[in-house]
Amino acid sequence: MLPGSIQISGETLSGAEIRDICESLRENSVRLLSLRGCQLSERDFGHVCRGAAESRSLAQLNLNLGIVSNINRVKQLAEALKTNRSVQSLFLHGSPLTDAGLALLNPALSIHPSLVALDLGDCMLGDEGINLICGLLPPDGAKSGLKELTLSANPGVTSKGWGRLAIAVAHSSQLRVLNLDYNPLGDQVAGMLAVAVASSRTLEVLDLEGTGLTNQSAQTLLDVVENYPTALRTLILAENNISPELQQQISDLLSEGEEEEETEAREVTAREKNPWICQNNSSSHMVLMTSGLGDSLLAETEM
């Protein structure tokens, strides 16, 4: 039987329900566990953490909206993640972690072999927390790192902290999605992020909705998208003081990039299906010579 999902939202969970959840975790029959906004006792939270630690099937763990409500729960979750090897996505949005809580959780996050998506939105983080998160964005492929990171609504982070994150994003070898919506970033931080976008070879989605940007930021981002070969495919700028015309220009440029990639992908597929296609370019061309027996020789001549 394939692992299924347990999704409960806003409920007060009984001891019997917690026992059923834990049994399913230990039986490796759960791939997704979401207890979003649920109420459960300290003891039962500990049981869930121990079940998650033992599970080999759990890939996504959603404890959004205040489930991890105190330092003791942070410690129990950290212990679970030190043992667990399967969780790929961890969602803690709306948990009052603070920098102190993240410091307790960070060692487990740093060594986890499978974690690629992390949501720490609205977790009351500051600059120290951002410094820890930057360590989860390695600059090379020597160690695994995050591919998706959400830091929405953490107004305690200063421009210094966001600048540090921009540097880490610029050099990250794996980050593809970054959500910074509803943070008071302003044009200065947006300029730092524009440099990160220009430098990154992996970042595909950047969410800057409701971050206090103006046309100044949009123009900088437009210049980046227009003049640099970025990986960016989606840039969200809603609820900012940016003209619709500039937003449309950026959207059009990103759409053009997607169309070019799709065309290139189709050409690659065609070449793979038909290896007899000869390619020409300004510096060289490929000449394919075949004998009547079907043997082939591929020769490259410089022109």
- DSSP characters for 199-256? H-SS--EEE-TTS--BHHHHHHHHHHHHHS-----EEE-TTSB--HHHHHHHHHHHHH
Instruction: Give yes or no: residues 2 and 50 share one domain.
Output: yes
Q: Tell me the average pLDDT across 39-57.
A: 97
Q: What is the pLDDT of residue 260?
A: 53
* Total-model pTM: 0.84
287 occurs within a structural domain: no
Number of residues in the chain: 303
Domain finish residue from 88, 121, 154: 121
Q: What is the pLDDT of residue 28?
A: 96
Domain finish residue from 121, 140, 172: 121
Domain housing 64: 1-121
| Stretch among 44-53, 88-97, 143-152 having the lowest mean pLDDT | 143-152
Q: What is the pLDDT of residue 212?
A: 98
pLDDT-based confidence at 277, cuts 50/70/90? very low
Structure tokens at 146: 């995050």
Q: For residue 302, is pLDDT > 50?
A: no
* Residue 29 phi, psi dihedral angles, 5° rounding: -110, 10
Instruction: Give yes or no: residues 132 and 229 share one domain.
Output: yes
Instruction: Give yes or no: residues 166 and 52 share one domain.
Output: no
Q: What is the pLDDT of residue 275?
A: 45
Q: Tell me the average pLDDT across 259-264.
A: 52
Helix (H) or strand (E) holding 34: strand 30-34
Q: Tell me the average pLDDT across 66-74.
A: 96
Q: For residue 267, is pLDDT > 70?
A: no
292 occurs within a structural domain: no
Instruction: Give yes or no: residues 92 and 181 share one domain.
Output: no
Instruction: Give yes or no: residues 9 and 60 share one domain.
Output: yes
The larger pLDDT score, comparing residue 272 to residue 90, is at: 90
The model's pLDDT over 165-209, given as tens digits with 9 standing for 90+, comes to 999 999 999 999 999 999 999 999 999 999 999 999 999 999 999
Report the share of the chain in percent with pLDDT over 70: 83
Instruction: Give yes or no: residues 131 and 251 share one domain.
Output: yes
